[in-house]
Chain A
């Protein structure tokens, strides 16, 4: 079992591990970022992409 744990640690990318010495900062950083990712995405972005897409389709037709 302890082998499994060390294997997991070894697989950790270097970059993230650099925040390891202060795990609390690293954890908060992820918590902060994940709270942003979890926010609802405004509809305007999907609408924007639809407009761009149909504008292009129209151009290709013309």
Chain B
């Protein structure tokens, strides 16, 4: 069992990361704070089950993520954006490499299905390995890899940021150009 004093200190230290992950998942600061609160209470109650020496942040992220999905189920909400519906509604910005606005990026991130968003956040921003992310999300490493890859592709499309091999107009703007010409 962890030392109570250090456990509390470690929890405190993890709060900014937990909130960041919570906001990324819930896309709403108030809901994220509720998730963090639930996570802290659950972590406190289950502290005996935390194996010392293992990754506390990963353990806490797992609790927060489970809480998020169980709340989603209770609310009967659709967790996934059925592929692309919201994305298509979103305005496509003719962004150029290096001039991406953070607000545009947030809006684009919000259109990702929750499973892709959490994967790209865990890998690209929270500093977890694929193995750790797979454990947090309770899925296979390959699943995380493919979610990250789909998330990246989707963000590239929405933000019109060209990948390394693609310098031409993307499919959507190509269509726009074609219909304008016709």
Contacts and interface: CB of A to CB of B under 8 A. Distances in A.
Given A32-B105, A33-B125, A15 B130 contact: yes
Given A14-B130, A36-B20, A53-B4, A45 B123 contact: no
A6 interface: no
A33 B126 contact: yes
Q: Is the interface of A mostly helix, strand, loop or mixed?
A: helix
B115 interface: no
A44 B124 CA distance: 29
B156 to A, nearest CB: 6
Contact size range, A: 20 to 34
B125 to A, nearest CB: 4
A38 B156 CA distance: 26
Nearest to A33: B125
Contact of B37 (A16, A21, A24, A48): A48
A46 interface: yes
Contacts of B181: none
Interface of B: 4, 8, 11-12, 15-17, 19-20, 23-24, 33, 36-37, 40-41, 44, 97-98, 100, 102, 105-106, 109, 120-121, 123-130, 133, 145, 148-149, 152, 155-156, 159, 161, 163-164
Given A18-B149, A28-B105, 17 more contacts: A13-B127, A16-B124, A19-B152, A21-B163, A32-B106, A33-B20, A33-B126, A36-B19, A37-B17, A38-B16, A45-B12, A46-B12, A48-B40, A49-B44, A52-B40, A52-B44, A53-B8
Interface of A: 13-16, 18-19, 21-22, 24-26, 28-39, 41-42, 44-46, 48-49, 52-53, 56
Q: Which 3 A-B pairs have the closest CB atoms?
A: A33-B125, A36-B20, A29-B124
